[in-house]
Chain A
Amino acid sequence: MIPFLANIDPAFKVLAPRTADWLTILPEIAVAALALVCLVQAILLPKPLRWLIPATARTGLVLVIAMAYTTAGPWAPKNDVESFAGLLRQDLPFAGVRLVFLASALLTSLLAARFLRERGAAIADYHHVLLVVTAAFMLLAQSNHFVTFFLALETAAVGLYVLVGYLRRSEASLEAGVKYLVAGGLSSALLLMGIVLVYGALGSVAGITDSLNFTQIGKALSAQVQTPTGISPLTLVGIALILGGVAFKLGAFPFHAWIPDVYQGAPTPTTAFLATASKAAGAFTLLVLVTGPFAALALKLAPVLAIAAVLTLLAGNLGALSATDVKRTLALSGVSHAGFILAAVTVAVIAPEATAYGYTAEQVVVLYLLAYLVGTFLASQALVSLPAAADHLRPHLALRGLLRRSPSLAAALGFGIGSLAGVPPSVGFIAKLLVLALLVKAKLWWVLGVALVCVAISIHYYFCILREAVVRPTEDNVELAPLEISFGARFLIGALAAATILGGLLILN
């Protein structure tokens, strides 16, 4: 052996991944393998058997969800266990984190198959990219090192550009794709510059061997806070840039400007996926960063987060008031939901021990995202099944008479929007209640006040949408033909509507 390699070998052996490391990310590997299976099927299967592609993807996702919930397996998250020599670490309520992404992918697949067939777009490719993005999000949420963090984030982002611009015959979809591309590219560049500055500024601190590792960054920052000079301005600029990049994913003020256009133009299943999985990824990474590596800066970060939460709530709700398109209204209301999530993250920073009904702030973020997911997919299912001139033109008026045309779609809209608005006893109400209770525990009265005002505003615009569904069309030339809803869609609506009611009870028990 070359002597030079003989020296490197022991050091490399310490860092080389072990079997136990691979087992901790078995669900992620399974999802990525499923993505490849979709492509192989697209090549091998004859046309009449193409329905197997989404069927395989869904069966696989259901199995992975079951797997992620087995507490006995080696992939079951154990708190604060680092794998791959510190590249990954599962320290959030991680079974719930996985569930958010997997459930979002499963429901998106259920919405997408028929939607894409009607528009003559390829189904296998969509599922492939969807599953790759899901696996990347799952890795992103457990990153403990800025290399894995950046790679997982960018894998997901590039995949999402494809999913947003997927209908290449539709100008709206392409325009949304390009807008998302420019906004996303800008945020990645800012994020990367932030990572570089933190890496460089902390790299010269004594005792730090790897200034990209979250644990070591945390150590370096808490050591620097105690010194009289404090944290260097270069590091602070870097941290601000990183948090800005993450706020873009979450859709928090002032990085929410891209949301209405992109959500409106994207194919509706992609919109639902963006709203749930992408927002969840932003929320989890923000939570990991502010409670992990940047925890030493809690005093500086807390007011910034609280102000961002308040401004996000206001921007989302005031924007949604004036929107006349259903997808735009839901997009801007999603911004206000991001505000609630930010409020919970603020509590996680200010008072890490605070609990609401026995749930910590981190668990509340996961529960809030699950509740938001159920409501969003119910409303999206109603939109997907409703015929429209173009996917990006869904004015409130188009919903007129929905109750008479299809009671099941009206029920989907009713349960979904009811849950998003937070009508008791829906799961959305319980989720909002948990966040408000956390704010009380942390004594953030002004955030609490704004949140309450915003709940009142949101009820107004949510019910404007619902009112249209109930009102009879005024013009005689509007046909009131009943809509054909497939059995699968009915089943999905029933299951999700049950989840809005039962989910709340499950949380409180």
Chain B
Amino acid sequence: MEHTSLAHHLILAGLLFALGLTGVLVRRNLLVVYMCLELMLAAATLALVAFSRFNKTMDGAVLVFFVITVAAAEVAVGLALIVALFRKRGSVQSDALTTLRD
């Protein structure tokens, strides 16, 4: 017996996605921005699993593993870049990114 419907999952995924997107656009701390990006990927993953379950196709569930792998690779490179920038500048605020301008 189903306790939740597809719509429930999608609404939750949509809320998480919107939360992540707002965070990326509004927050100034690069680490928080990066966490919000990961939240967006997690929201997409949740929707993927829900669709896979309710459409009864396995492709979506398989894609989830690839998304997790990709997110891990992205974090490895991304955190390395943010740490290197912090060592150089002593701050991870995006307001401090002012070297490049016309």
* Interface-lining segment among A43-51, A158-166, A310-318, A463-471: A158-166
Neighbour of A196 across the interface among B44, B82, B85, B101, CB < 8 A: B44
- Enumerate B24-52 residues with CB–CB distance to A below 8 Å: 24, 30, 33-34, 37, 40-41, 43-44, 47-48, 50-51
Partner of A147, one of B34, B66, B78: B66
Known A-B contacts A172-B99, A193-B17, A392-B99; the reply to A178 vs B81 at CB < 8 A is yes
The stretch from A54-62, A102-110, A321-329 touching chain B is A321-329
Do B63 and A212 have beta carbons less than 8 Å apart? yes
Taken residue by residue from 139 to 172, chain A's Cβ proximity to chain B (1 for < 8 Å, 0 otherwise) reads as 0000000110011001001100110010011011
A507 CB-CB contact with B under 8 Å: no
Chain A residues lying within 8 Å of B101, measured Cβ to Cβ, are 261
Contact with A along B49-71 (1 / 0, CB 8 A): 01100010101101100110010
Whether B55 contacts A185 by the Cβ 8 Å rule is: no
A154 to B34, CA, bound (A): 16
- The residue from A178, A193, A203 contacting B55, defined by CB atoms under 8 A apart: A203
**CA of A161 to CA of B78 in the docked complex: distance in angstroms?**
8
CB <8 Å contact, B97 and A179: yes
A 172-207 binary contact with B (CB < 8 Å = 1; else 0): 101111110110011011101101110110011000
Q: Is the CB of B77 within 8 A of A174?
A: no
Closest Cβ of chain A to B1, distance in Å, is 21
**Shortest distance between the CB of A52 and any CB in chain B (Å):** 27
- Decide: A181 and B99 in contact? CB cutoff 8 A: no
Binary flags per residue of B65-102, CB closer than 8 Å to A gives 1, else 0: 01100100110011001101100110000000101111
Q: A165–B67 Cα gap in the complex (Å)?
A: 23
| Inter-chain CB contacts under 8 Å: number | 136
B6-19 to A contact mask, C-beta < 8 Å, 1/0: 00001000000100
Q: Do A200 and B55 contact each other (CB < 8 Å), given the known contacts A175-B99, A189-B20? A: yes
Q: At the interface, is chain B mostly helix, strand, loop or mixed?
A: helix
Contact A186 B24 (CB under 8 A): yes
B102 touches A158 (CB 8 A): no
Contact B97 A199 (CB under 8 A): no
A235: interface (CB < 8 Å): no
A154 touching B73, Cβ below 8 Å? yes
CA of A416 to CA of B24 in the docked complex: distance in angstroms?
A: 38
Query: Which residue of B has the minimal Cβ distance to A212?
Result: B59
**Residue from A147, A177, A200 within 8 A of B81 (CB atoms):** A177
Question: A260 — which chain B residues lie within 8 A by C-beta?
Answer: 100, 102
Is the pair A147, B59 in contact by a Cβ cutoff of 8 Å?
Answer: yes
> Are A182 and B47 interface neighbours, CB within 8 A?
no
Pick from B55, B81, B89: contact of A165, CB below 8 A. B81
Bound: A190/B36 CA distance, A: 13
Does A189 lie within 8 Å of B41, measured CB to CB? Answer: yes
Give the residues in chain A near B99, CB-CB below 8 Å.
171-172, 175, 265, 392
In this assembly, does A211 line the interface, its C-beta being within 8 Å of a C-beta of chain B?
Answer: yes
A174-B88, A211-B57 in contact; A196/B100 too (CB < 8 A)?
A: no
Say which residue of A162, A185, A325 sits within 8 Å of B37 (CB atoms): A185
- CA–CA, A265 to B50, complex, Å? 41
Is the CB–CB distance between B66 and A151 below 8 Å? Answer: yes
CB distance from B17 to the nearest CB of A (A): 6
- CB–CB B34/A182 < 8 A: yes
- The answer to whether residues A161 and B57 also contact, given A150-B66, A189-B44, A193-B17 and a CB cut-off of 8 A, is no
Q: Does A333 contact B (CB under 8 A)?
A: no
Q: Is A264 an interface residue (CB 8 A)?
A: yes
Specify which of B40, B57, B77, B81 lies most central, judged by the most chain A CB atoms within 10 Å of its CB.
B81
> Can you add 16 more A-B contacts, CB < 8 Å, to A189-B37, A199-B63, A211-B55?
A147-B62, A171-B99, A175-B99, A178-B85, A179-B97, A179-B100, A181-B81, A185-B37, A189-B41, A190-B40, A193-B40, A193-B44, A199-B60, A203-B60, A210-B59, A211-B59
Q: List 15 A-B contacts (CB under 8 A).
A: A146-B63, A147-B62, A147-B63, A174-B81, A182-B30, A182-B33, A185-B37, A192-B41, A196-B44, A196-B51, A200-B47, A261-B101, A265-B99, A392-B99, A392-B100
> Which residues of B are at the interface with A, using a C-beta cutoff of 8 A?
10, 17, 20-21, 24, 30, 33-34, 37, 40-41, 43-44, 47-48, 50-51, 55, 57, 59-60, 62-63, 66-67, 70, 73-74, 77-78, 81-82, 84-85, 88-89, 97, 99-102
